Chain A
Amino acid sequence: MEPSITTTRSRRLRRTSLAFAIVFASFLSVTALAKQTEEEKAAKAEAEQEKLLQVFVSEPYLELSTGPGRGYAVFRVVEREKSVDVLFRRTDWFKVRDEQGVEGWARARDMRRTKLADGSPFVFHLGDMAGFTSHDWEIGIGFGDYGGADLIGLYGSRSLTDNMKIDLSVSQFLGNASTGWKAELGLQHVLFPEYRFSPFLTLGTGYVETFPRATIVNALDRQDQTAYVGAGARFYLTRRFFIRADYRWHTIFTSRDDNEELEEWKVLIACFF
């Protein structure tokens, strides 16, 4: 087979259009469905133009497994100098198609040793310490304490640089006197992103909604704006995982004369990608 860097992706297309068809069939009327078929044709033509990456095996062989995990059987090997088309990636496995059209899963570590058509190495992110230092996104879940109430939290963050990130956290608190939820948006400054353990500082603003428990008389639901400063630490565990411990000192701008001040701490298990 003559090396070309791209081939069409007809299989993915069938998949996408099938998914579209199922979703639309259940929600749209017959006329809308007819319209969709035309749109589908246009999408099909467009998708056929879409190209796939072709990489060449430079090790003695590349193993293909039946599934994206170490437990799945190796059912095929691709020889050196032969090529595979990269269909998509799931965790640290790539779904590829060889020159005979056989599809299988190749381990990311093995794909790192393949070459592009111009002979340059195939480079991509792996979940390792270097990825911990430099990545785009983080998500995490955790548990903690918010002014004496139990706290369940979820957060996501987007890296601006290795040091600076935008944090969005949403959490629910369940206390004896009241329950509620809050959402916060802020900046996180990681002091030493290149180390396994690094402290960080945070600053941000948020919104809190509080519902007093029914047993408390004359209490009203409250919606308040908040601001926080905080500090914490991050510790890289393994692969794509790290632990994040967070302390925040909140000021709640209440409608009363005094602002309320609350402390929050939480521990999160998080991953980056």
Chain B
Amino acid sequence: MESSNRLLLLTAVCGATLMLSGCASFRWPWHKEKVEEQQTDAEAAEEEAEDQDVTPPRVIEPNVARRKIKTPRIDNENWEMGVGLGFMSIEDFGTSSTYAAQFNYHVTEDFFFRLDAGQSTAGKTSFETLGGNIELLTGDERRFTYYSLSLGYNFLPGEVYLGRNLAMNSGFYLLGGIGSVDFAGDNHLAINLGAGYRVLPTDWLAIHIGVQDRVFDSDLLGEKKVTNNIETLLSATVFF
């Protein structure tokens, strides 16, 4: 008796569970039909809505003009080019005027490369002056032509003031490099060492005063010796 009661109860519980979980656990054939029926109902409603020309909700366009950024090319002004005039003191041959051209590339705020070239004409040695008609060199051989490749180092940057309203940037620099000197019919390997002072009246114009010693070996007057040829130059350069 007791066992039949228990069986009855168990059947009832199982039945109730099945009924409650219903569609989730079992897919009854009538249930499927019902779902399909609902779907068709929804489609019909949609069609009906379309038929009635119901306008969709308005999309608000933001009133902001979108800007297209086209980055302009930034001008790089690291090159400097210019010409100069000055004096060249050629060892044993006196001091003569010289003219030169220079080309600089500024690599960092501290360092720059320089290519310079110039020409001067040597005067007479004291031996020639005192000795009357003696000529050590011909006209062409007196031409002193040089170029050098140098590395420059900027130091002591500052400003100079002209009057109350004008300030100009300035700075000193050291130079060292190698090059060649064509003098007295021969090419010599030369080492150049120097220093300069630069003032910039504007951002693009620089005025330089520079001194460079061009050192090379010469055996022109008999024995081989080191000659120092000191050049003083005033030059104007333009940045571009």
Which residues of A pack against B, CB within 8 Å? 5-6, 12, 15, 19, 50-53, 66-73, 86-95, 116-118, 120, 124, 127, 139, 141, 143, 150, 152, 154, 172, 174, 179, 213-214, 239-241, 269, 271, 273
Contacts of B71 in A (CB 8 A): 53, 116
> Would you call B76 and A154 a contact (CB within 8 A)?
no
* Residues on the B chain within 8 Å of A152, using CB: 149, 178-180, 189
A251 to chain B minimum Cβ distance, whole angstroms, is: 25
What residues of chain B lie closer than 8 Å to A68, measured between beta carbons? 109
Contact partner of B149 (CB less than 8 A), chosen from A94, A154, A174, A241, is A154
Taking CB as reference atom, which chain B residue is nearest A87?
B75
CB distance from A116 to the nearest CB of B (A): 6
Once A117-B69, A141-B151, A152-B189 are accepted as A-B contacts, the answer to whether A91 and B178 lie under 8 Å apart by CB is no
Residue ID in chain A nearest B80 by CB atoms: A90
Q: Which residues of A contact B109 (CB under 8 A)?
A: 68-70, 91-93
Q: In the bound complex, do residue B72 and residue A69 qualify as a contact, i.e. CB atoms below 8 Å apart? A: no
CB atoms of A52 and B72 under 8 A apart:
yes
Q: How far is the CA of A117 from the CA of B239 in the complex (A)?
A: 30
Contact status B74-A86, CB under 8 Å: yes
Chain A CB count within 10 A is highest, among B71, B106, B171, B177, for B71
A143 touches B156 (CB 8 A): no
Question: Are A72 and B169 closer than 8 Å at their CB atoms?
Answer: yes
Kindly state the separation between the CA atoms of A257 and B202 in the bound complex, as whole angstroms: 61
Say yes or no for B78: interface residue by CB 8 A criterion: yes
Nearest to B159 among chain A residues (CB) is A66
Interface size class of B (residues with CB under 8 A): 35 or more
In the complex, B96 has a CB within 8 A of chain A: no
A69 touches B179 (CB 8 A): no
Least CB distance from A236 to B in Å reads 14
Would you call B204 and A95 a contact (CB within 8 A)? no
Report B-chain residues with C-beta under 8 Å of the C-beta of A143: 178
Known A-B contacts A15-B204, A19-B238, A117-B69; the reply to A88 vs B74 at CB < 8 A is: yes
Q: CA–CA, A227 to B189, complex, Å?
A: 26
Q: List 28 A-B contacts (CB under 8 A).
A: A6-B72, A15-B204, A66-B167, A69-B110, A71-B158, A72-B158, A72-B159, A72-B169, A88-B76, A88-B203, A89-B74, A89-B77, A90-B77, A90-B203, A91-B107, A91-B108, A92-B109, A94-B74, A116-B69, A118-B67, A127-B108, A139-B113, A141-B115, A143-B178, A150-B189, A174-B180, A241-B107, A241-B111
A124 close to B74 (CB less than 8 A): yes
Q: B93 at interface (Cβ–Cβ under 8 A)?
A: no
Once the chains are docked, how many angstroms separate the CA of A29 from the CA of B74? Answer: 35
* Contact status A67-B159, CB under 8 Å: yes
**B203, closest chain A residue (CB):** A95
> Nearest 7 A-B pairs (CB), nearest first?
A71-B157, A88-B75, A141-B149, A67-B169, A271-B107, A69-B109, A179-B187
Contact A15 B74 (CB under 8 A): no
Contact A90 B149 (CB under 8 A): no
B239 and chain A: residue at smallest CB distance: A90
CA A86 to CA B73, docked complex, whole Å: 10
B22 at interface by CB-CB < 8 Å:
no
